[in-house]
Copies of this chain bind each other. A is one copy, B any other.
């Protein structure tokens, strides 16, 4: 197995792209914002994938980067929420480095456990291993003297933004770009558009759904009067973008019905970002991608009850284009 290949695929898998070139462009996009984050992202993929290799996990899953993407996100989150400057991140101390490598390793075990639990329902663990391990490892972090962590620099709840700022043009184009960037904790709207480009390299439909999801999340939040700062930071949009991709072609064959289903899911994900933020507010913790996972699971686990949807089992899913082609080929004329 080629280390470079599964590392880059691991990065691509965060946005469902099993393609090293997509991963490379995304990595460059992250590096454009901060070299620290780009390096940490690779450390995370390596730590979690090596754990899978040492434990002798399935080589096909390893090769496809499926043990890497949660590790990447765990590592990024631990740096992002303990750095004085959220946007650029900070080089970790030794204790912090050990801690994040262990967190990334745990994400591999969580992935295997969730895959076992969800197996009978043919639903993927998505980024839940990251959310779970991310929360568990973040909650503890401030209690250890050896890890220098100031009060969290990044607002994590809509309450922390002003409600009086008006929506202006940059609210939109920066908010939509930042929505894609925030998937990787990148507070940089240009990085967001570069990531979109990386996705488009492998699947234009996925890139389109990602963009549409970000737009829906941003617009819905605005229509319901969400605070401008949170919208411009992409906080309402990153879960929506992931949900739109997952439901619009990756795990459901793209049809007009699943297209509407995906956009509905994107809108709900935007609302529920605020919801989880409120729930976690007493302990000041971030939402991560939990609202994406909750909404997508709720909309997929029961999928076989709805004949209007055409499920794609995770093991068979490739790109929205391919998934659709195979379905059309197998359907009676």
Contacts and interface: CB of A to CB of B under 8 A. Distances in A.
A12 B212 CA distance: 40
Contact of A301 (B117, B136, B147): B117
B223 A146 contact: yes
Interface in A74-98: 95
A197 interface: no
B224 A147 contact: yes
Given A106-B268, A302-B116, A275 B223 contact: no
Contact-residue bracket for chain A: 35 or more
A305 B136 contact: no
B144 A302 contact: no
A317 B304 CA distance: 23
Contacts of A227: 143
Interface string A187-225: 000000000000000000000000000000000000111
A306 B56 contact: yes
Given A264-B102, A302-B109, A308-B55, A275 B144 contact: no
Question: Main SS of the interface on chain A?
Answer: helix
A82 to B, nearest CB: 13
Contacts of A58: 305
A152 B61 CA distance: 48
Contacts of A56: 306-308
Interface in A254-275: 257, 264, 267-268, 271-275
Given A145-B224, A163-B145, A283-B278, A302 B140 contact: no
A248 to B, nearest CB: 15
Given A163-B145, A308-B56, A271 B137 contact: yes
Contact of A279 (B99, B139, B304): B139
Nearest to A303: B112
A299 interface: yes
A140 B143 CA distance: 28
A294 interface: yes
Given A283-B282, A298-B106, A275 B115 contact: no
A2 to B, nearest CB: 21
Interface in A279-333: 279, 281-283, 294, 297-309
A222 to B, nearest CB: 9
A261 B162 CA distance: 47
A105 interface: yes
Given A95-B223, A224-B147, A271-B137, A55 B109 contact: no
29 contacts: A55-B308, A55-B309, A56-B306, A95-B223, A102-B264, A102-B267, A102-B268, A106-B268, A106-B298, A109-B302, A112-B301, A112-B302, A112-B303, A113-B299, A116-B302, A136-B272, A136-B276, A137-B271, A139-B275, A139-B279, A140-B273, A143-B227, A143-B274, A143-B277, A144-B271, A144-B274, A145-B225, A147-B224, A281-B283
Interface of A: 52, 54-58, 95, 99, 102, 105-106, 109-117, 120-121, 132, 135-140, 142-147, 158-159, 163, 223-227, 257, 264, 267-268, 271-279, 281-283, 294, 297-309
Minimum-distance CB pairs A-B, first 3: A112-B302, A145-B225, A113-B301
